[in-house]
A and B are shown apart, each in its own frame.
Chain A
Amino acid sequence: MKLNKLLFYSLISLLVISCSGGGGGGGGTTTPTVTLTSIAVTPADQRLLLETGATKQFTATGTYSDSSTQDITTSVTWSSSNTDIATISNTSGSNGLVTLQAVGATTITATSGSINGSTLLTVETNNNNNDNHLTITVNGDTLCTNAYPNKPCVSVTVCTPGSNTDCQIINDILLDTGASGLRIFSSVLTITPTQVTSGSGNLADCIQYADGSADWGPVQTVDVILGNEPAVTMPIHVIDSTFGTNAEQIQSLCGTPDVSPNTAGFNGLLGVGLFAQDCGSTCVSVTSNQMYYSCSGSVCSPTAVPLSNQVPNPVALLPLDNNGVVVELPSVALGGKTSIQGDLYLGIDTRSNNSSSGATMYPADPSSGNFITVFPVTGGNTYSSSFIDTGSNALFFDAGSQNALITCSTGIATGWYCPSSTLSFTATTKGYLGSPAANIPFSIGNADTLFSPQTNWVFSELGAPYDSSTISAFFDWGLPFFMGRSVYVGLEKTSSNLGKGPYWAY
């Protein structure tokens, strides 16, 4: 007992000595140094509205050991715990300036040496309205020309630049998440666009599609209104197969471009894919880009084009809802429906109607937009060039080892999968670097049976192989993928609560 007590006191005194040792010893002989003891970040616990201003200045106030305080905003290191919600500048001249990115919460921290101070920043929205909404119809009333299965259409409004009266609503615009840019046939435009110039010539665009078709015509500026969004002045592609030069040169530059809405099957296309422009940085630096031409006299020559003159994804230029879109279609039971109606929301996490909560984000390759599909789940092939596309009207993939997936070689469904009964499958989709991963169940039915009554035009179980097994790296998740899902298309160089684009999320 006694020994224990002794040991206890010895320990206590050792502790006391060691704890008071450093500070006490030198205190009497040197001038007391004033040290930073805490940092306060203001404004504290801010709730900011995303739409009332994109930036906000934060201040760091240091409190020192002598109880003095000082503004140390420019000398601390600033950080934001979630840069998808808000970023903060450490650049000289703008230290502490927060830029709001998306709805959500983040912690803003100011650090100096081992001392730091932080505060919570909540980014909110008062946009509870539906101004960012467009109705999608699949074989519905916004469709006016050639019908084909699983064709999603929207309406857009275009105006003569600067006019809010000389406007027209254009129906039968194909919604395309596999491309970027608004393209409208010249023959349906009654407004007066302004030609975009390139050097001494008029700028023209050639878009080649993988089905062998193409769109040719001038790049012209109009005011675009999507849903009830504000009008935004931007270049669009005016489809005109006779523009700029003779038929022979157009054919050599752009193949056999679409001539009319009737032959194309739409009045135009609304490309709301992963990219901010149809071409992007390549066409800024490369003259022979095979997309952009400058037409002067009756000759069109290849030309490089600054980003601002390229045909943009219209969503990228919206004031608030500019980080992507959400596409939602209802489920469609096996056997199909005559038509369905769905929703296109502009922006992701910018309003109460486009929250990404619950969705998982799959990063897409920043140059191609592709991600990965493995089919079937166990021991399957890896389809490294997979994409999700409202403009593809079925699930297109190579059957691989699935022998039951036979293809119709005659009749109305020639070239489509025609298994003897509807088959259920599961594939795994992955981000382009391999994660995250999720299993996607889907069905493939007999297209001959689906098409034969010709009463239904919307099918969740429609699929087809490529004509050649060589194209096996491609898995094209077309319109059936969107049925019964909310699909988030995250634009490059933007972010939302899901992360940084380009991405797919669902």
Chain B
Amino acid sequence: MKTRKLSSLLLCFSLALIVLFVGQAYATLGESTDSIATNRKALSAVRSTTITSSKYTVHVFQSETMTVREYVSPSGVVFGIAWNGLTHPDLTPLLGSYASEYQKAASHIKRQPGRKFVKVESDNVIVEKWGHMRNLQGRAYAPALMPQGVSNDEIK
């Protein structure tokens, strides 16, 4: 009984620690910045900076393999994500509720051999990838969530 109490206490404590110290996880497209992706891989982000402009805030996360930039509207919603690194990130946690429509649209894309970029457009989200081995880049954004006066060219 005692040990169970102790271990559950320990569990709570460790969870709190995780939230405290690895709180720099990625947020998810279409959700608030408070949303922390469940993907543990994302937790390897090691440092972050925040860039604020008049139209949105950019959270920059640096992991050992890539840089991820998240664009957050004044109302606190993530409307765009851009990445640059050794590989593409696992998009499932980053796209959140948009992940399944993206995957469906991606499976219908006709392969264009010899090209080093792809654009996957579904009802609510646009995902673009480009680059080459050792330097893969891309971005995802939800056009409907873009704050007024912000061009999709700004997500990069």
Contacts and interface: CB of A to CB of B under 8 A. Distances in A.
Contacts of A252: 90, 92
A151 B134 contact: no
Interface string A40-72: 000000000000000000000000000000000
A341 interface: no
A210 B116 contact: yes
Nearest to A290: B87
Given A210-B130, A471-B128, A389 B116 contact: yes
Interface string B73-91: 0000000000000111110
Contacts of B131: 210, 385, 474
A392 B116 contact: yes
Interface string B42-73: 00100000000000000000001100000000
B130 to A, nearest CB: 5
B117 A213 contact: no
B72 to A, nearest CB: 18
A72 B113 CA distance: 62
A476 B41 contact: no
Interface string B92-122: 1000000000000011010111111111100
B38 interface: no
B135 interface: yes
A310 to B, nearest CB: 12
A256 B132 contact: no
B119 A179 contact: no
A471 B117 contact: yes
A130 interface: no
Interface residues of B, number: 38
A255 B107 CA distance: 10
Contacts of A207: 133
Given A179-B132, A370-B135, A470-B128, A393 B90 contact: no
Nearest to A177: B132
Most chain B beta carbons < 10 A, residue from A263, A396, A466, A470: A470
Most chain A beta carbons < 10 A, residue from B86, B112, B114, B136: B114
Contacts of A148: 113-114
A227 interface: no
A468 B119 contact: yes
A6 to B, nearest CB: 80
A470 B139 contact: yes
Contact of A211 (B41, B115, B153): B115
Given A282-B64, A470-B152, A470-B156, A289 B86 contact: yes
A470 B76 CA distance: 24
Interface string B115-156: 111111000000011111111110100000000000011011
B134 A396 contact: no
A78 interface: no
A263 B112 CA distance: 11
Contacts of B111: 211-213, 263, 265
Contact of B107 (A256, A466, A467): A256
Given A288-B44, A289-B86, A290-B90, A474 B114 contact: no
A393 B109 CA distance: 19
Interface string A459-493: 00000101111110010101100000000000000
| Interface SS, A side | loop
Given A208-B87, A291-B87, A278 B133 contact: yes
Interface in A247-299: 252, 255-256, 263-265, 271, 273, 275, 278-280, 282, 285-286, 288-291
Nearest to B133: A179
A214 B117 CA distance: 13
A369 interface: yes
A389 B135 CA distance: 13
Nearest to A365: B135
Contact of B117 (A210, A255, A264, A469): A210
Given A279-B86, A286-B65, A370-B135, A210 B114 contact: no
B115 A396 contact: yes
A275 B135 CA distance: 12
A282 B86 contact: yes
A146 B113 contact: yes
Most chain A beta carbons < 10 A, residue from B92, B106, B137: B137
A396 B135 contact: no
Interface string A178-196: 1110000000000000000
Given A263-B111, A279-B86, A393-B115, A471 B130 contact: yes
A150 interface: yes
Interface string A437-477: 00000000000000000000000000010111111001010
A187 B70 CA distance: 41
Contacts of B90: 252, 290
B132 A290 contact: no
A327 B21 CA distance: 50
A212 B107 contact: no
Nearest to A214: B88
Nearest to B152: A470
A212 B136 contact: no
A226 interface: no
A203 interface: no
22 contacts: A148-B114, A178-B132, A179-B132, A180-B133, A210-B130, A211-B116, A211-B117, A211-B129, A212-B111, A212-B118, A256-B106, A271-B133, A278-B133, A285-B64, A289-B87, A387-B132, A389-B132, A392-B115, A466-B117, A471-B137, A476-B132, A478-B114
Interface of B: 41, 44, 64-65, 86-90, 92, 106-107, 109, 111-120, 128-137, 139, 152-153, 155-156
Given A151-B113, A389-B116, 4 more contacts: A255-B106, A286-B64, A470-B156, A474-B116
Interface of A: 146, 148-151, 178-180, 207-213, 252, 255-256, 263-265, 271, 273, 275, 278-280, 282, 285-286, 288-291, 302, 367-370, 385, 387, 389, 391-394, 396, 415, 464, 466-471, 474, 476, 478-479
